């Protein structure tokens, strides 16, 4: 549970921004600073295209004691963080602390604590994770997003998951363990230029 607490502390915010674009030929990876926000890539779970999430910096923590209790459960959509035990692709966030240092380490620690037989016992060796969200105006998109971490239960089943259909199939087969973080984000929309204009975080 201390890893969940660290993760909640690492990504706790009162808002996040997203823009939805076509799949890029070269997959973007890592956070970028742009003004007072940190922008990072994700996947649109409807079709696997690239989207971007922007987290305002230096904002008050959120969690089950405030936001979750004050948000209508029917208006909350899931945001999935899929953690990979092997480097099979360019992930939205690579390595530890890697190119998403504000939450990559906490996610990796959660993975090795929950599934050491798959991820090993050294969180520094976890290669990375992806973010999966619903596209704007489609599927289960909503302004508040509830964060779930998805962990593989066997290395034999590891594949790059970029859509909700692929995620649900892996879960139905027992290849993923879901961890509810209890964290909710509020997510307006911003353009792709926020990512492209930002300075890479290392």
Work out how many domains the chain is built from and give that number.
Answer: 1
Question: How confident is the model at residue 53, as a pLDDT?
Answer: 84
Nearest to 129 by CA among 157, 102, 150, 156: 150
Where helices occur in the chain by DSSP H, the ranges are 2-11, 67-70, 104-114, 116-119, 164-172, 193-196
Mean pLDDT is lowest, of 10-14, 74-78, 156-160, 161-165, for 10-14
pLDDT tens, 163-186?
A: 999 999 999 999 999 999 988 876
Give the H/E segment covering residue 184.
strand 176-186
Q: What is the pTM of this model?
A: 0.84
Q: Which domain holds residue 94?
A: 2-200
Question: For all residues of the chain together, what is the average pLDDT?
Answer: 81
């Amino acid at each position: 549970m201390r890893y969940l607490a660290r993760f909640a502390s690492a990504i706790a915010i009162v808002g996040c921004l997203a823009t939805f674009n076509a799949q890029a030929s070269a997959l973007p990876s890592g956070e970028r600073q742009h003004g007072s926000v940190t922008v990072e890539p994700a996947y649109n779970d409807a079709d696997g295209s690239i989207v971007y999430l922007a987290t305002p910096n230096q904002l008050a923590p959120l969690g089950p004691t405030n936001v979750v209790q004050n948000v209508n459960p029917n208006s909350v959509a899931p945001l999935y963080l899929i953690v990979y035990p092997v480097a099979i692709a360019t992930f939205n966030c690579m390595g530890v602390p890697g190119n998403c240092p504000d939450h990559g380490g906490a996610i990796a620690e959660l993975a090795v604590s929950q599934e050491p037989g798959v991820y090993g016992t050294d969180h520094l060796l976890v290669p990375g994770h992806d973010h999966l969200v619903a596209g704007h105006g489609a599927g289960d998109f909503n302004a508040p997003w509830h964060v779930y971490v998805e962990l593989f239960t066997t290395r034999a089943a590891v594949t790059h998951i970029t859509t909700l259909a692929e995620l649900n199939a892996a879960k139905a087969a027992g290849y993923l363990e879901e961890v509810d973080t209890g964290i909710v984000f509020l997510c307006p929309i911003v353009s792709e230029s926020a990512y492209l204009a930002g300075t890479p975080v290392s």
